[in-house]
Amino acid sequence: MALLEVSVGVEDLVLLEPLVEESLLKNLQLRYENKEIYTYIGNVVISVNPYQQLPIYGPEFIAKYQDYTFYELKPHIYALANLAYQSLKNRDQDQCILITGESGAGKTEASKLVMSYVAAVCGKEEQVNSVKEQLLQSNPVLEAFGNAKTIRNINSSRFGKYMDIEFDFKGAPLGGVITNYLLEKSRVVKQLKGERNFHIFYQLLAGADAQLLKALKLEQDISGYAYLNQEVSRVDGMDDASNFRAVQNAMIVIGFSEEEIQQVLEVIALVLKLGNVKLADEFQANGTPASGIHDGQGIREIGEIAGLNAEELERALCTRTMETNKEKVVTALNVIQAQYARDALAKNIYSRLFNWIVNRINESIKVGTGEKKKVMGVLDIYGFEILENNSFEQFMINYCNEKLQQVFIELTLKEEQEEYNREGIPWTKVDYFDNNVICNLIEHNQRGILALLDEECLRPGVVSDSTFLAKLNQVFSKHGYYESKVTQNAQRQYDHTMGLSCFRICHYAGKVTYIVTSFIDKNNDLLFRDLSQTMWRARHPLLHSLFPEGDPRQTSLKRPMTVGAQFKNSVAVLMKNLYSKNPNYIRCIKPNEHQQQGQFSSNLVEVQVRYLGLLENVRVRRAGYAYRQGYRSFLERYRLLSRSTWPRWNGGDREGVEKVMGELSVASEELAFGKTKIFIRSPKTLFYLEEQRRLRLQQLATLIQKVYRGWRCRMYYQQMRRSQILISSWFRGNMQKKRYGRIKASVLLIQAFVRGWKIRKDYRKYFRSVAALLLSDFIYKSMVQKFLLGLKKNMPSTKVLDNTWPPAPYKCFNTANRELRQLFYQWKCKKFRDQLSPKQVEVLKEKLCASELFKDKKASYAQSVPIPFRGDYIGLQGNPKLQKLKGGEEGPVLVAETVKKVNRGNGKTSSRILLLTKGHVILTDTKKSQAKTVVGLDSVAGVSVTSLRDGLFSLHLSEISSLGSKGDFLLISGHVIELLTKMYQAVLDATQRQLPITVTENFSVRFKESSVAVKVVQGPGGGEDGKLSCKKKGSRRLEVTVQ
């Protein structure tokens, strides 16, 4: 445990007091309710499934457990994984981690945690990361194809898996080998109520896109497939669609090609569609029952996927060819036989596909034969099962669990005895249940159940499940761990739960009743040769490779090995593998039957504790001594309890431990000193040591706090003292520096005055008194001369727009420099004006006037600046009629252009020709060329114009004029800047007054005796084009929109 960490209950059951079943269960329940799901029995980890995600996993906890030994932190699966990995890496011992427990106890999750821990703590090189990723990604692939929802577990492993992870001498993973055991292939064609088929079928239908489903000739609706349980299509907490994408990505990481993934999915689709093949009764010509395909569409689609002819596939499903050495006989199958053949084909295809996937993964993660390697095995195999109806699959699963229990018992006792022998400690034998008798009942070569089953399968004559049961009753009539209806009747026992077609075995986990129905068929697992040969002829590459025995050149009349015999051999190899490695155990316990978090069923856990032999395991650990630890680690933990060993000990580890225990006055019968370890008999002694250590830690913590506080106060005082000395030193030094500076300045001032007085005295004595004035005047004139000559060399250009000017070399010339710059600029401007013609001067004056009137006021002003004022925009010189309009005394026409006059009554516009002379504004019709309106400039009272880009302006007339009664003019000009500028100058010349020009968007226009309010607004286009639209709003309002 951590240094001062508070534990819940007893973390190691070896230390439990009193050691009875009730206290063990209460301790597990107490820890479970406080979310402490792991408990130790020595180096065995008990894991109680929490059915929820706990915040005790991830990189932070992996790093934490990596840095501590097994007992230093709270019990955790990471601690066991670290112990196994460090033993493999540092002691060069091959390891295996055995994860056992019944279905739903959390074995699969435990194996994932072990794998993730080992992957996290080993090397970080790029190649190592690639191998780790492949090993980790094998889990989701195997889960998809080998796991299913059962009534006890939503992700139950329906196959056994043993993975050997191989490491180099540095502890970095090189690769691995996966061995699978007895896939429950009967699930492919039939599931119990409340259970599902293998995950991959549901993941494919939920996660595949429309294009993929079309290519596989599938539909997303699960109800359309006979092999899928319609009642349980979805599982809470499981996203089949996202899991399908995860499986595809994992297969790519492992090394599957796109073609291989597609072929695997095609085989899965073929199995699904086989279940939809409907068989109908038919009769041959002689009246013999036969069968045929009811719906040809399904069989044709299967043929297209497999690359087979539909008629050939139908013939293989509905007939059987019997071969002898002399002849071939083709017999028709009735509907029941044909359905059996169809289901057998589906099961065989799926089972062989699963084996192919495992082998393909092994090809990707295998290690070269030349490399020296260490091995860590992880066993995740199906748990002990006691169902309502137990068949051949449950019999084989429970047989495997019996063998694993046997390994646990033998290796636990053996390791305990070997440790006592190595350390020279006397060994006291502990009685325990030896399940060897049950293993022999099942696997004995001549008189075992498996041997009798194989014998019955191979026996000529009428063979059935009933004859097999009769043989079992005959052979095991007096066996203490075998029961049936016949043996019970012979012993005059009555048990209504025992059926006539059943037998019962008293397993280590409890009594299990098996129904012998289909034992013979499932053990034979026969696939008609016609189907094998047909699948071998398939053009589908993967499907073809799954049936090598279908090759006519390799046809053998020898009967294949039964399923039971194959599994027995596989288990034997597994046991041999486990015995060759150092075992590490994880015993998984299911707390309740409903998979609910926080629920702890004492009765259910009690059954599991009994058949897992946890109490016996604790007793074995405590038989001699309950606790043992190496001298170095023991001394490191408890040396603070002795003044001789604390704080330093320079002697040997064993001598140090003897010193500690001697000073604590622990009874000699409570201790035993081995060669490398100390052994403690009673948990009370260990509790006493822990209590003394806790008190000593508090004393040491108080001492450390006292020393630290004293040290901190001394350091603070010394720091304050040094600071005060430093501040005083700096202050005194600064004061002296300032005083010295003042004295020095005073001395220098006195010296300067004295020297000056002496020099002046000597100067008046030897030189003229006006020499200084002459000298200063000469120096000043030289500076002026230098300044003017420099200005002459650096004179800027004569361009009017060039404002550069060299700076004055001395501040005393700044005023003169500014005056010279102003004179030079004025001279440049005069020179520029002298070069202009009178016409150019007039144009510039007009532009200057326009700038004063409209700059920063009218939006269209900026566009008018570079454009010269033309005045004539209608070709006045070529139109004598218009020339007559101006009169002879008016002089030249200042502006002649076409304008639009806005009707103040309805807002409509009409074109007019406007002539501006020095005395009048003349408006005339564009067609008749006759003066329509003549306005004297003295009658123009003002002009209103907008700030936008439009050409609208209002000509306001004085009321006393002859035209004043008619009202003002509202005009639109394309050259409004030029027109109003020249009108302003003409009014100024003619009347010696300034024409008021108002820039506004709201103004009033007089109309006879009333007035019209004009409002100018900017349209959605921003007014860039300057186009106008006028709209009358009522009788006294006109709205003008600038587009």
Which residues touch 940 (CB under 8 Å, ≥6 apart)? 921, 955, 956, 957, 958, 983, 987, 995
Q: What is the 3-state secondary structure (H, E, C) of 977-1005?
A: HHHHHHHHHHHHHHHCCCCCEEECCEEEE
Cα separation, 483 vs 247, whole angstroms? 45
Active-site positions?
Answer: 103-104, 108, 153, 156-157, 383, 385
Cα separation, 102 vs 91, whole angstroms? 33
Cα separation, 259 vs 267, whole angstroms? 12
| Cα Rg, the chain, nearest whole Å | 55
Q: What is the 3-state secondary structure (H, E, C) of 175-205?
A: EEEEEEECCCHHHHCCCCCCCCCEHHHHHHH
Give which of 70, 82, 44, 38 is closest to 56, Cα–Cα. 38
Peptide bond preceding 807: is omega within 30 degrees of 0, i.e. cis?
no
**Any idea what DSSP says for residue 949?**
S
Instruction: Work out the number of other CB atoms within 10 angstroms of the CB of residue 306.
Output: 22
Token digits for 281? 């009764």
Paired strand residues for 912: 899, 925
Which residues touch 124 (CB under 8 Å, ≥6 apart)? none
Residue by residue, DSSP assigns 261-295 as HHHHHHHHHHHHHHTT--EEEEE-TTS-EEEEES-
Single-letter amino acid code for the residue at 447:
R
Token digits for 788? 């003017």
Matching residue, tokens 């190649």: 127
307 within 8 A of 542, measured Cβ to Cβ: no
Residue length, the chain?
Answer: 1043
Instruction: Work out the number of other CB atoms within 10 angstroms of the CB of residue 355.
Output: 13
Cα separation, 1005 vs 955, whole angstroms? 9
Matching residue, tokens 């155990």: 585
Matching residue, tokens 């600029």: 825
338 within 8 A of 318, measured Cβ to Cβ: yes
Cα separation, 477 vs 491, whole angstroms? 10
Which residues touch 323 (CB under 8 Å, ≥6 apart)? 329, 529, 557
Cα separation, 128 vs 108, whole angstroms? 24
Q: Which helix (H) or strand (E) holds 1009?
A: none
Q: Parallel, antiparallel, or unpaired: how do β-strands 940-945 and 671-673 relate? A: unpaired
Provide the phi-psi class of 721: left if phi over 0, else alpha when psi is between -120 and 50, else beta.
alpha
Q: Which helix (H) or strand (E) holds 462?
A: none
Greatest distance between any 2 Cα atoms in the chain: 166
Cα separation, 852 vs 984, whole angstroms? 11
Matching residue, tokens 């709205």: 1039
Burial 913-936 (b: 16+ CB within 10 A, else e): bbbbbbbbbbbbeeeeeebeebbb
